[in-house]
Structure 1
Amino acid sequence: MHRPLCPVETLYVGQRSRAVLSCALRGRVDAGALAAAFDAVTQAHPTLRARIVADGGGHALALLDETERPRLETRTADLEEAYATELNRPLTLGGPLSRAVLVSAPGGTEHLFVLVVDHTVTDGHSSITLHNTVWDHYRALVTDERPQPGRADAGTADAPEWPEPVSALLPPADEADTAAYLDARIARAKESPVELVRYDPARTGGGAGDEGHIEVCRLTLDTDRTARLRGRAREAGVSVHALIAAALLRTARRRLDGDGPRTLGCLSPVDLRSRLTPPLPASVMVPAVTTHLQTLEVSETSDPLDLARTVHARVNDFIARGAHFHEMRITPEIPRNPALQLATVIVTNMGVVPGPRLPDGLRAVDVRLVPGRENYFPQAGRSPVMACVVSFEGRLSIEFPHSTACFSPAFMRAFRDEVLDALLAFASEPRREPATTDVG
């Protein structure tokens, strides 16, 4: 009934971070069928109907009893206010690691579905897959399609088959090699400390006893502009992720004092699912991601395409060397060496993903993925800026979650607008021949 958390998963326990999937809908929703669909999915994934408990000197997942397992919540409310509420509503400490809410606007034709999952048991890819699976079950129920099969390893209600942690699926490694990798990473972090973005002095929170609340500033491109940005990235021999990272780095540099180059850090999550042998399906509810941190000298005059080429080449080299596996192995050392993941900008990248497949008469107006957490530490005075990047159905979206105790809405809107201007410039500039990039 218990499944110990591995050291990597345990890091998420203190963070209390969560993935917030939301889907704005137009049409008729059968709340009973949606509740049954959510029940079917949580039955197939024991991690979704579990809580975190103390286990010796660590933590473990423990199955909730039938009366405690999560069920679909429904209510009528203003949808914009409901989204803000759910974004700021933490999962209950010691309670279920998932929550599903259906909010309907007065009139009953517009709705918001919100699915929240603790990052201890999910990552971006698995949370998106989970969201779409809920709607697959819903569609099957309301159209009399054959129901989707549950996970083969779900087990029984009394003896669940817990998924293995990704740290147990890594290829074998020599302990001396891992130790040498850790030493080198710590040395590089000390040699090149990165600058962070100072909190906005005009922030709306941050007073004594005021920890603010989470807001999200959002950037979106339509399908045409998204396609043009992808095309320019291909022509330049870089990824869209690298273009976005370059835009963020240049925008962050303009928030720093002084002239000349400054050392900035770019943290890029790296998916491990497709790089394991055999690959791990996105339906398996475990966090399966590591990170790549690189430092770059960025000045007011840095060429954005040159920055993008550097980011792109270094990430590719990191993966080609198999360093992503070493990075996962040293993750438990982060609490003792936080500089290992300290960056000026954090740029996630889910890539191009499908939205939910819905029955006739129901349409997804908007789909969003936003990370949230409990502590933003306004007392630190500065922090990284996070950008959550995903393309649902061919439309690029960048979400900038932040605490109002750290950055004001006006500050984040200005940051977002500069990033947007940079991406539009990328999408429209003429082709340039790729340059040789130093990947050291």
Structure 2
Amino acid sequence: MRVVLCSDLEGDPDEQALVDALEHLVGCYPLLAGKFSERDGRPLVRIDEDRPGNVVLGHGTSLAEEINAPHTWTRGPLLRISLLREPTAGTRLVMTLPRAFVDAMSYLAVHRRFWAIHTAVRTGGPVPAEVVRPVLGPAVDDLVGARFTAGQLGDFVAQRARMDAEDAVAVLPTLASVDGGPGTDLSFGTTRVDLDPDRSAALTRLAHDMSLTTNDVVSGVLLTGLRHVLRPREGTVRVLCTSAVDLRRRLDPPIPDEALQSAATTTSLRLGIDASANPIDVARQVHRDLRANIDSGAAAMELAAFAHMIDQHPPSLVITNIGTITEPELPDGLRVDSVRLVPLGHLPMVFAVVSRYRHRLNVDLTHSRAWYTDTQIHELAERVSTTLTHLTS
């Protein structure tokens, strides 16, 4: 899997300043110039800080082409970064990193550092130069796994398998698949649903009035929207939703955001959702079950047992809330108007990333066209948009 971070720009960027900022960024994050390797059959990341790989600023004219560009991470570098000048969408800066060692918190830290360096380069201010240590954070699954015995993890995996065998999980039909496997179109699609600042504020007020979080309500909207496109059209179906949980602050000692590391896990919510379900009622179920899984340690156990659960039933929907993205302070004449961060992988799953930027709430739906058609995802997006509009009217 790869993770793409796209910044839509207002104004014409100074390309030399971008190149200079990129050079400084790699000095702060040596891992970005590394490559994947292997030792004794085990994968590893190799970094030569004396002779780092060459991270260059690429160019393009299409976001669709950029997010689908092939990567050879065994040659390096691990960071791909391109400046796009699209005829209709304007200018974009797009970063791509492998999912293996990055999560939303650390990726956004890289994003903040890059633009802080760029501003310093443009204005003649002090350039942030401290190197991020450790270069790669500790293996979080090992840290978490130490909390449980092999017997506990085995029982946990068996219980989850039993639950799904007893009550089948509904999933979006993989209309683009071929003979039960991935189809021939190995490209990715992204669809955005957004709310303007006034409606975003109204949604937050609604959530708080219901003693819920905004994430609970958005999850309720996403799940009822998904129910609308599932089969059968009538009645109640069982949905398996995974919700991201950031473990950085829950570890002792906590892992700083700057450390490049995949420090998130997902916790599974199994919900019965009727075709006529109210999104607020579903939001209450999400709130209850998500809190219970965190308090009971089930979220941490899912990460510790991940290697044993990888072949179990795929989730109907994967929801990741990355919270509020800080707007960078840039020199006069340049502004980051919009930010999107999306995971991309050829898996039979729909990913929904929820974020807030410049007081706008955004939901980015991403999918592999090897499994789903654009029409399916657009139908889901339209349903989500309509429900959000209705709730904030």
Same topology, TM > 0.5: yes
Correspondence list, 1:342-421, <5 A: 342-373=314-345, 375-376=346-347, 383-421=348-386
Q: CA deviation at 1:210?
A: 2.8
Correspondence list, 1:39-438, <5 A: 39-64=23-48, 69-75=53-59, 78=61, 82-94=62-74, 95-104=76-85, 111-151=91-131, 153=133, 161-170=135-144, 172-175=146-149, 176-200=151-175, 210-258=184-232, 259-335=234-310, 337-339=311-313, 342-373=314-345, 375-376=346-347, 383-428=348-393
Is contact 2:80–2:95 with CA below 8 Å preserved after alignment?
A: yes
Moved more, 281-290 or 162-171: 162-171
Q: State the SS of the aligned residue for 1:348.
A: strand
Is contact 1:105–1:111 with CA below 8 Å preserved after alignment?
A: yes
Q: CA deviation at 1:243?
A: 1.6
**Cα distance change, pair 372–306 in 1 and its aligned pair in 2 (3 A):** same
Is contact 2:170–2:231 with CA below 8 Å preserved after alignment?
A: no
Q: CA deviation at 1:218?
A: 1.1
Q: State the SS of the aligned residue for 2:380.
A: helix
Q: State the SS of the aligned residue for 1:286.
A: coil
**C-alpha separation in 1, matches of 2:294 and 2:189:** 33
User: Structure 2 regions of 5+ residues with no counterpart?
Assistant: none
**C-alpha separation in 1, matches of 2:148 and 2:190:** 43
Q: CA deviation at 1:119?
A: 0.7
Q: CA deviation at 1:144?
A: 1.4
**Cα distance change, pair 210–162 in 1 and its aligned pair in 2 (3 A):** closer
Q: Deviations over 1:135-188 (max 9, x none)?
A: 11111111111111423526xxxxxx5432223443852414334333333332
Task: Report how many aligned residue pairs link the two structures.
Answer: 387
**Cα distance change, pair 209–162 in 1 and its aligned pair in 2 (3 A):** closer
Is contact 2:145–2:301 with CA below 8 Å preserved after alignment?
A: no
Which ranges of 4 or more aligned residues in structure 1 deviate by more than 4 Å? Answer: 64-68, 206-209
**C-alpha separation in 2, matches of 1:293 and 1:53:** 32
Q: CA deviation at 1:64?
A: 5.0
| Identical pairs, percent | 26
Q: State the SS of the aligned residue for 1:33.
A: helix
**C-alpha separation in 1, matches of 2:152 and 2:368:** 39
Is contact 2:194–2:363 with CA below 8 Å preserved after alignment?
A: yes
Q: CA deviation at 1:24?
A: 1.6
**Cα distance change, pair 89–305 in 1 and its aligned pair in 2 (3 A):** same
**Cα distance change, pair 262–208 in 1 and its aligned pair in 2 (3 A):** closer
**Cα distance change, pair 190–57 in 1 and its aligned pair in 2 (3 A):** farther
